[in-house]
Amino acid sequence: MSGCAHVGTGCDFIVGATADHRMPHSVTRWACNLNATLRADGRLTFTRVSDGKVMLSEKSVRRLMPTTTTPPVAGFYSLEIAFDAVEGERIYGLGQHAAFPWDPSFPTNGQLNQKGVPAMLLEPHDGDVTIPVAHSSLGYAFLSNLPSVGSVVFNATGSYWSHAAVLQADMWITTTADSPPHAVSPWQQLQLAYADATGHSPVWPEWSSGFWQCKLRYSNQSQAMAVANEYVRRNIPLSLMVIDYFSWDDPVKKVNTIGDETLPASCWPDPALMVEALKAIGVELMISPYSHSVGNESHYFAEAASKRFLAIDRNGEPAPSYAGGYAYDLFQPAARAFAWNAMQSGYVRQYGLHHWWLDCDEPCGGTNNGSYATDWLYNNGTWPSAFVGAAYPQMLERTVDDGMRAAGLADDNVMLGRAAWAGSQRLGGGVWSGDTSSTWQDLNQQFRAGLNMVMSGIVVSETRTPSAIRRSCPSCAQQSPALSRALTPRARASRASSGRRTSAASPTATPRTQISASSLCGGFSGAPSAPCFVCMASALGRRGLPATAASADKPRPMKCGCLETRRRRRSSR
């Protein structure tokens, strides 16, 4: 029946509506503790049965209007939904925002309550990812179950959802099983109901709660092993290391092997031995493979293109992603299987790699700020990006999860992406905060962003320390007030006069821990960067600590951003 409310399981409703939304009379459906009333004028109202409290009430009838997509694909509608505002209501969830804001108007000092912030985009961006579920202090949760692009905003006049291309409205609403005072926390009830509806997260292995270390970037096998061994030598616990992007570049053969899902032997002579050696010292290894794409120099490209496994752009050509790759059309099951076969044939079977850093999964390299494409076509050219684009990250997670399960490796798999969508948690994926900046203000905002991501069902939310977007090397000591104090002339003179060297047991060792955490990532080649191992070794040496971290960074075929900055300064004199 057009426009009716369909009773879901538990205390929730799944509501669908087509363009023919008006009813000749009011209709009420009941599920557990929630009433849904469709008024004669077509507006929806949701009421908690136990106390008669209105949870949600439409301001006006939802609007489904024929729309033209880019590129044009017939049969889609734009959708506008608006609900009345309630004074004092607080909204949580809706993913993570301003961890790395594309919109300079977004409050970078952040707030946990999502009500009152500017409109949030429904499509994923680097560091700005909307999961379309809102948890309200009134005692309800609302999911707009549509992977369409658009926006959502909660303010003093109401809540407004706008979708660019849909076939129908699709909403999920739940409330608590009781009225205040609640026997169980209302937030716990809403979170459980949402997990029951969209999927529960598998439990990550215990080791994954330890220290993760990466830099931008490890460019060869000896470099990665030297750093791992240095952590062991210093008795610093280390659980996982990450090989970041461009590991597929072969500087000897001068080819870009992105999509081959292997590591070039010129830089990585024996990856399987590296994985085994790291495991022997208690360290797991994660790879950032950019497996959503395949380059035209890959031996998989011709077959992928001929079988139409690639997304296409507005001109009908394979859609260019990042780093010379072309994006897979992961909305096709056969394309997902093809992409996974490449990953399994290389990283899994040859090297024994099971952990995945799914960077650039928006997918990046698109037409919108280089992050997410607005004009691509999926599902063999039948689905515009505006219709399903928000769910692309989840399709990549599904590619990996389905493949790992089929290979019997589901229990030995850690997967971290830069974006996600509703229900991604059931595939085991976590999300990190994106390419953040090296400021305490950004770190402060990452906590708010991470908490809201967790309230959106993504139970693993990771925060970068310090960042991928960095300042020049001289700002090393400026990143942490504690480190700045430790490096002041007075502090150094005080330690010198005491005759003591800073040790892990002394109170002044606190900044040392911060230094280790801050050495997570290096800088972009040829660009200003934050502390790399050379900078950190210098800082440690000035403080009377063993300045041996520099040796851990050898050999160094890739230019360190800090050293490159110094070279530019010398050459300009």
pLDDT (tens digit, 9 = 90+) per residue, 299-343?
999 999 999 999 999 889 999 999 999 999 999 999 999 999 999
CB of 259 closer than 8 Å to CB of 342: yes
Please report the pLDDT score of residue 100 as a whole number. 54
Domain with residue 78: its CATH number is 2.60.40.1760
Per the domain annotation, does 436 fall within a domain?
Answer: no
Share of the chain above pLDDT 70, in %: 72
How far from chain centre, in Å, is Cα 489? 41
pLDDT band, very low/low/confident/very high, at 107 (cuts 50, 70, 90): low
Domain with residue 211: its CATH number is 3.20.20.80
Q: Are residues 143 and 121 in the same domain?
A: yes
Q: Are residues 192 and 229 in the same domain?
A: no
Please report the pLDDT score of residue 95 as a whole number. 94
**Lowest-pLDDT range of 50-59, 82-91, 500-509:** 500-509
Q: Are residues 343 and 369 in the same domain?
A: yes
Backbone angles phi, psi at 15, to 5 degrees: -115, 130
Q: Are residues 88 and 142 in the same domain?
A: yes
Per the domain annotation, does 525 fall within a domain?
Answer: yes
Please report the pLDDT score of residue 108 as a whole number. 59
Per the domain annotation, does 457 fall within a domain?
Answer: no
Give the DSSP H or E segment for 190. Answer: helix 186-198
Please report the pLDDT score of residue 32 as a whole number. 81
- The parent domain of residue 550 ranges over 473-572
Give me the long-range contacts of 35-43 (CB less than 8 A, separation at least 24): 36/5, 36/173, 38/3, 38/4, 38/5, 42/3
Taking residues 474-486, report their average pLDDT. 34
Backbone angles phi, psi at 116, to 5 degrees: 100, -5
pLDDT (tens digit, 9 = 90+) per residue, 231-278?
999 999 999 999 999 999 999 999 999 999 999 999 999 999 999 999
- d(CA 505, CA 549) in angstroms, rounded, equals 20
Per the domain annotation, does 420 fall within a domain?
Answer: no
Q: Are residues 121 and 222 in the same domain?
A: no
**C-alpha pair distances (Å), 474 with each of 115, 463, 484:** 39, 24, 12
Per the domain annotation, does 442 fall within a domain?
Answer: no
| Other beta carbons less than 10 A from residue 166's beta carbon | 20
Per the domain annotation, does 464 fall within a domain?
Answer: no
pLDDT (tens digit, 9 = 90+) per residue, 166-191?
999 999 999 999 999 999 999 999 99
* Global pTM value: 0.79
Please report the pLDDT score of residue 184 as a whole number. 95
Taking residues 191-208, report their average pLDDT. 94
The count of structural domains within the chain is 3
Per the domain annotation, does 445 fall within a domain?
Answer: no
Per the domain annotation, does 556 fall within a domain?
Answer: yes
Two tokens, residue 399:
């590619």
* Of 126 and 561, more confident: 126
**C-alpha pair distances (Å), 263 with each of 255, 329, 523:** 12, 24, 21
**C-alpha pair distances (Å), 202 with each of 287, 358, 425:** 21, 18, 8
Indicate if the pLDDT at residue 398 is higher than 80: yes
Q: Are residues 129 and 235 in the same domain?
A: no
Q: Are residues 134 and 271 in the same domain?
A: no
Q: Are residues 146 and 270 in the same domain?
A: no
CB of 106 closer than 8 Å to CB of 117: yes
